[in-house]
Structure 1
Amino acid sequence: MSQEQITIESEESGPLDTFRQFFALEQDVLVLSLSMFAFSLGFQMTNRFLPEYIVALGASGFVVGIFGTVGNIISAVFPYPGGAISDRIGSRYALTVFGVVSTLGFGVWLIAPDLGAITVVGITIQPWIWIFVGLLLAQGWKSFGLGATFAIVKQATDPSRLAAGFASTETFRRTAFLIGPVLAAVLIGFHPEFTVSFRYVLLMAIVFGVIGTVAQHILYDASEDSMGDSFEGIEQIKDDLREMPKPLRPLLVGDTLVRFANGMVYVFFVLVITQLYQVGFETTISLAGFSYGVDLSPEAFFGYLLGVEMFIALVFMAPAAKVAERVGLKPIVALGFAVYAIFPVVLISGPAVLAPVMPLSLTLILIFAFSGLRFAGLPSHKALIVGPAEKGTGGRVTGTYYLLRNTIVIPSAALGGYLWEFVSPEIAFTIAAVIGVAGTGYFLASGEEFEAYV
């Protein structure tokens, strides 16, 4: 792939520029990007609603927290073996294997209610256990290429425009994050019983998984794939940790605290809407002389709230990256951290504060729009991670950073689940906000700017 094909050259930066650049890519990168879009669509349609699905199958709030922690474990552990598999069998076959595994995961979620309670050696396996099994499979495709993506953008983009480069790729990928929950909300509206309507969503996710897997296997050009060496073991990880660029350490500490805080409450956002507030959306829309009644269940309303959140993210990511070129990466990253940090307390307390002046549904729309601003700092955050890496080490630095951060964050959801179930949701969300604010403050005090932006 030539430098000109993927370097971000235009001084204008926005979602439309992203799509124009996307269709100018080489075939193999185009196929990979489309596959990423398909699997992101399937995963975003399903994953944010799974806590409600688990509860509907008989699990408690604490189990939802354990579910989040298992997801954290997978995010921390999968990238290393995923990369090793890709090195050993080549990108084409690795993509196909991961695609099949992920699609099977969607299938396990689909049939979980039909399996019912099963007794094995005197132990009763509840239906919600299968959601955990499906999670191990469904996140398979996500294990491919995290570090490689960072390294490619770093190699192809001028150091002073790294944030703009990441804004371009993130804008396209996160379009699936916008479409997925909204499409899920539409499908959920087809049946009043959530365990029935959500299975329509899972069927559609399976379709996207099959399309993504087949397309990437047939269209991907594997002629330039190379087979690498096998994974060198724990010593390789230790070496990578020791060699992490020093400017990354304050960022890593602040980021880990912020992500730990978010991890405590992230899986409970849907339950706040469907169980605590139990709020849907009802209105009448008049168009061309006709009136349309809109009556959304809480589950469907949550999907649209996620759509609002991601719409704001898509609108602000590219402009924020441009602003970073003038003011530096650190202030933009700190802004994203701050929104991450205070969102839990805004979500749990904001509606009560605004109750005298606006309806609950409108309040929640504004709160989730505010949440979308946290993604404004994401491209700058990624640039700050990979920027200090030496040439040829971007993938390893990125992989090491995420391995360490995600490993520390593993118990966060279980802690949040314990507080949610045995103390109170308000306490869980408030403690999360305190931890997030501490992380943001530490980064502001100790974080270092990437030299190319100074």
Structure 2
Amino acid sequence: MPDEQAEAAGPIDAFRSVFALRRDVLILSIAMFAFSLGFQMTSRFLPEYMRTLGASGFVVGLFGTFGNIISAVFPYPGGAISDRIGSRYALTLFGFLSTLGFAVWLAAGQLGAFTVAGLTVEPWVWIFVGLLLAQAWKSFGLGATFAVVKQATEPSRLAAGFAATETFRRVAFLVGPVLATVLIGLHPSFTVSFRYVLAVAVAFGAVGTLVQHWLYDASEDTIGDSFAGLEQIRADLREMPRELRPLLVGDTLVRFANGMVYVFFVLVVTRFFAVGLETTVAIGGVSYAIDLSPAAFFGVLLGVEMLVALLVMAPAAKVAEYVGLKPVVAVGFAVYAIFPVVLINAPPTATAMLAVFAFSGLRFAGLPSHKALIVGPAKQDAGGRVTGTYYLLRNTVVIPSAAIGGYLWDFASPEIAFTLAAAIGAVGTGYFLVFGEEFEAYR
């Protein structure tokens, strides 16, 4: 039953909750902010960056699939490493690798094509290399972050605990793209201005790594059993809590649908619609002209999306304490499913794009509840491995989604790719509604 005391029911309350949590969760939240800022101010623009470096739409799809492979492979060993050596050293290693990845992206735009053994290596190849490193903290550290929050939170308050840390983290998702918009506007060439963005990402990654290493208190970390290779993976798959299976199936279908089109959101704005923003803003009786390129305007759209996310996550987590986790998760899944068809059929105007991306922000309402539903049934010292196992299965199935979307984008049409994605997402949402189970602490 929900606690009768005043709890996190809005973004400001969620921030207060972060600072009221244990020191290790607070430091983790600060590190989340730094790495999320660096990753979000860069990764969402990478498909456009790749196109300027000569990549085709299908190559962009392959890049998305490569990211899916990393997302599938990294969380399990990351969770196992975290459970074995503790979160502090694991997250420090992952942070260093991510910062190095940002640096590789920064160098990629300055490298021309060259030939090795008769094979021409294009500059956009380095974007793939950089992703292998840059996604380390996000994917390797996934199990560690889940486990830390689980250790610090009562079972009936898991959604609120995740809402607090996620709200803190998602502020970076708001600030990052907006900061990227400002930096992109400093030079007329996107290839040049985006390097400013990447340089700032390197700085934030370095700060995040140092903060979490020196300030994180690992004295209360729980250390699980040592990793026993493939047999350990098979055992963890067999022992996955039964309650997670319907969630896993529905979530996988929804994420497969999103994966088909996610990397193309920026191209819809910058190339398919080519929508920028031209307006005049009056402040203190003085008028200012605003003229944003489509790439810069995309940063504004991401900021709007995250602003809505910040406004709804904590209240949705509070609602989950009364109605359960399942209904809140289902709402998030439904928005994931509908968004692609809404976006591709929207009028090609700045106002319509702002409205569509504001709608997209509602999908984050279910995120804290979704995380609570994943890690809730896990044993106290196995939160990392349970999370890693879940994401290993989900993300393995999702691997080919972006390549399929890229193929449809290039050889059929963007409309077909986005419509098919919406249909698959709707099936996943329906499956979860019918078969999904509630976490016992929220019944």
- TM-score range (shorter-chain normalised) is over 0.9
Query: Per the alignment, in what secondary structure is the counterpart of residue 284 of structure 1?
Result: strand
Structure 1 residue 78 corresponds to structure 2 residue 67 = no
Q: CA RMSD in A?
A: 2.1
For 2:221 and 2:323, locate their aligned partners in 1 and report how far apart those are by CA, in whole Å: 40
1:11-26 to 2 correspondences below 5 Å: 11-26=7-22
Structure 1 residue 375 corresponds to structure 2 residue 375 = no
Q: Which of 424, 436, 440 is the aligned partner of 1:435?
A: 424
Query: Per the alignment, in what secondary structure is the counterpart of residue 291 of structure 1?
Result: strand
The alpha-carbon deviation at position 27 of structure 1 amounts to 4.3
Q: Residue 354 of structure 2 aligns with which residue? A: 365
Q: Residue 441 of structure 2 aligns with which residue? A: 452
Structure 1 residue 294 corresponds to structure 2 residue 290 = yes
Q: Residue 67 of structure 1 aligns with which residue? A: 63
Identity of aligned residues (%): 76
The alpha-carbon deviation at position 443 of structure 1 amounts to 1.1
Q: Which of 5, 30, 48 is the aligned partner of 2:44?
A: 48
Q: Residue 175 of structure 2 aligns with which residue? A: 179
Query: Per the alignment, in what secondary structure is the counterpart of residue 114 of structure 1?
Result: coil
Query: Per the alignment, in what secondary structure is the counterpart of residue 346 of structure 2?
Result: helix
Indicate if the aligned counterparts of 1:44 and 1:177 stay in contact, CA closer than 8 A. Answer: yes
Change (3 A) 1:84 1:441: closer
Change (3 A) 1:364 1:337: same
Change (3 A) 1:390 1:188: same
Q: Residue 105 of structure 1 aligns with which residue? A: 101
Indicate if the aligned counterparts of 1:8 and 1:165 stay in contact, CA closer than 8 A. Answer: no
Q: Which of 194, 197, 203 is the aligned partner of 2:193?
A: 197
Structure 1 residue 130 corresponds to structure 2 residue 126 = yes
For 1:343 and 1:331, locate their aligned partners in 2 and report how far apart those are by CA, in whole Å: 19
The alpha-carbon deviation at position 84 of structure 1 amounts to 4.5
Structure 1 residue 268 corresponds to structure 2 residue 257 = no
Indicate if the aligned counterparts of 2:184 and 2:190 stay in contact, CA closer than 8 A. Answer: yes
1:320-399 to 2 correspondences below 5 Å: 320-351=316-347, 360-399=349-388
Q: Which of 400, 403, 423 is the aligned partner of 1:411?
A: 400
For 1:33 and 1:48, locate their aligned partners in 2 and report how far apart those are by CA, in whole Å: 21
Q: Deviations for 1:346-398, whole angstroms, at most 9, x for unmatched residues?
A: 0001227xxxxxxx100110000000000001111112222333454433322
Structure 1: gaps of 5 or more residues: 1-6, 353-359
The alpha-carbon deviation at position 143 of structure 1 amounts to 3.5
What one-letter code is carried by the residue in structure 2 that aligns with 1:97? L
Structure 2: gaps of 5 or more residues: none
Change (3 A) 1:228 1:156: closer
The alpha-carbon deviation at position 140 of structure 1 amounts to 1.7
Change (3 A) 1:297 1:90: same
Q: Deviations for 1:380-426, whole angstroms, at most 9, x for unmatched residues?
A: 11122223334544333222111100111011001100100111100
What one-letter code is carried by the residue in structure 1 that aligns with 2:389? T
For 1:22 and 1:164, locate their aligned partners in 2 and report how far apart those are by CA, in whole Å: 10
For 1:257 and 1:215, locate their aligned partners in 2 and report how far apart those are by CA, in whole Å: 37
The alpha-carbon deviation at position 115 of structure 1 amounts to 1.3
Query: Per the alignment, in what secondary structure is the counterpart of residue 293 of structure 1?
Result: strand
Change (3 A) 1:37 1:392: same
Indicate if the aligned counterparts of 2:47 and 2:60 stay in contact, CA closer than 8 A. Answer: yes
Change (3 A) 1:390 1:93: closer
**Residue-pair matches, total:** 441
Query: Per the alignment, in what secondary structure is the counterpart of residue 298 of structure 2?
Result: helix
Q: Which of 215, 218, 221 is the aligned partner of 2:214?
A: 218
Query: Per the alignment, in what secondary structure is the counterpart of residue 190 of structure 1?
Result: coil
Q: Residue 4 of structure 1 aligns with which residue? A: none
Query: Per the alignment, in what secondary structure is the counterpart of residue 124 of structure 1?
Result: strand
Change (3 A) 1:39 1:323: same
Query: Per the alignment, in what secondary structure is the counterpart of residue 283 of structure 1?
Result: strand
Query: Per the alignment, in what secondary structure is the counterpart of residue 192 of structure 1?
Result: coil
What one-letter code is carried by the residue in structure 2 that aligns with 1:46? T
Q: Which of 247, 262, 265 is the aligned partner of 1:251?
A: 247
Query: Per the alignment, in what secondary structure is the counterpart of residue 275 of structure 2?
Result: coil
Indicate if the aligned counterparts of 2:252 and 2:397 stay in contact, CA closer than 8 A. Answer: yes
Could you state the TM-score of these two structures normalised by the residue count of structure 1? 0.92
The alpha-carbon deviation at position 95 of structure 1 amounts to 3.2
Indicate if the aligned counterparts of 2:91 and 2:141 stay in contact, CA closer than 8 A. Answer: no
For 1:102 and 1:31, locate their aligned partners in 2 and report how far apart those are by CA, in whole Å: 18
Change (3 A) 1:161 1:361: same
Query: Per the alignment, in what secondary structure is the counterpart of residue 39 of structure 2?
Result: helix
Change (3 A) 1:228 1:177: same
For 1:140 and 1:236, locate their aligned partners in 2 and report how far apart those are by CA, in whole Å: 22
For 2:401 and 2:77, locate their aligned partners in 1 and report how far apart those are by CA, in whole Å: 23
Moved more, 140-149 or 164-173: 140-149
Query: Per the alignment, in what secondary structure is the counterpart of residue 350 of structure 1?
Result: coil
Q: Residue 163 of structure 1 aligns with which residue? A: 159
